[in-house]
Structure formats: structure tokens, C-alpha cells
Amino acid sequence: MKTILCFGDSNTWGFNPIGITTPNAIRHPLDVRWTGLLAKDLGSDFRIIEEGQNGRTTVHEDPLNVCRNGKDYLPACLESHKPIDIVVLMLGTNDLKSLYNLPPGEIANGAGILARMILTSTAGPDNQPPKLLLVCPPKIGSLSHLPDLEAKIPNGIARSTQLPRYYEALASTLGCAYLNSQDSVQTSPIDGIHLEASEHAKLGPAVAAKIRTM
């Protein structure tokens, strides 16, 4: 059996966009989330581990939330779940927040730090590194109807649209597999950040198809 670790943020956790209007986050059911659909698509020869967290960044501390720095948690996560055959890494959306003030290229550099941690780890079979599928996160949608959120992620559409060129270049440099989720999915018009069930249904098979080539 192959083990696949999916390391990401709220879109890996399965945040339902309708939750933006409620006091508490609402999670898509397992059979709706792209990770659950990935497991269904790949079948019983694969074990899918969900490691999604709302608000997770690549390498940055969130002064308003604790334990959101992906770099701090990743080593323990890799060790806890080893041996891991493939890591699917999809992070960067939360790095677009104004409190980090990062251009798209620097966001990709943050993802690169995590990617290199994975590719130099002993978390794979026989203490070798696992394979890596680097996934560029979805494009931010319109936030004009949510002024508070728009202030947190200024110029979200334009900046997130630039991410694929940097993520693809990073994957080429590292020699790892790459998937641009922006080719497959669109964020919900409700909050401009998270995926509706219909988009999870697209992303899961897209990731599965890429994994089969690996």
C-alpha cells in the first residue's frame, strides 16, 4: 500500500465557503473533500492522509493565530506518518495576506523551503525522501462584496494569478511533479477563497491523475 500525505491549508481541510457567514468553520464531508475523492479514485492500494489546517502559511508566523507556520509543523508531520511515498504540497493562499506583505515570487520561495525539507528528509521508504507533487493553490476570486476580507488580501486576484509561473519554475528547479490547480478549479463566489463541492470533485481526480504518472 502506498501512503500519500496531503499537506495544505483550509482547502485541504475542506472549508465550506458558506462557513464565512457563520461564527464557526463548516467542513465539507469526507466524501466531498478532494482528499476523500482522491482516495476513492486511487483505490484501496493507496492510503491518503489529510493534513490541512485553516490559516496555515508556508513559513510565516501569524500573530493573530497560533501554530499556523507550516515550516514548524512539517518535520514532525513527516516523521509521524513515515514511511510516506508521496507528499502533495498545496500552500500559499494565506501568504497573500496583507500582514505578510509578500510578492508572489516570495510566496513561492516559502513553498520552496517546505519542498526542500520534504525532498531532503528521510520520511520515505527505506529512509529515502518521498516523492513530491507541488500544487499551485487556486486563484483568489472577487472579494469586493467582503470589504474586511478584501483588506486582508489586497489585489488577491492579480497576485494569485501570478503564482503559477513561480510554482512551475520552482518544480522545474527541484525536479518534482507539478500541478496548477488554477487549470482545474475556481474558488467560490461566496468568499473568493474556498472551494465548493463541485470544485473538490474536479481537484481530486486531477491530483489522482498526476499521481498515477509518478
Is the full-model pTM beyond 0.95? Answer: yes
Residue 145: the pLDDT is 94
Structure confidence at residue 191 (pLDDT): 96
Q: What is the pLDDT of residue 139?
A: 98
Q: What is the pLDDT of residue 182?
A: 98
CATH topology for the 2-212 domain: Rossmann fold (3.40.50)
pLDDT, position 129: 98
Cis amide linkage into residue 130, ω under 30° from 0: no
| 47 phi/psi in degrees, rounded to 5 | -110, 120
Domain segments of the chain as ranges? 2-212
Per-residue pLDDT tens digits for 170-195: 999 999 999 999 999 999 999 999 99
Helix, strand, or coil here: 149? helix
Listed residue (166, 165, 139, 164) closest to 153, CA to CA: 139
Listed as ranges, residues in the chain with pLDDT below 70 are none
Within its chain, how far is the Cα of 108 from the centroid?
12
- The pLDDT of residue 23: 82
> Are the beta carbons of 77 and 89 closer than 8 angstroms?
no
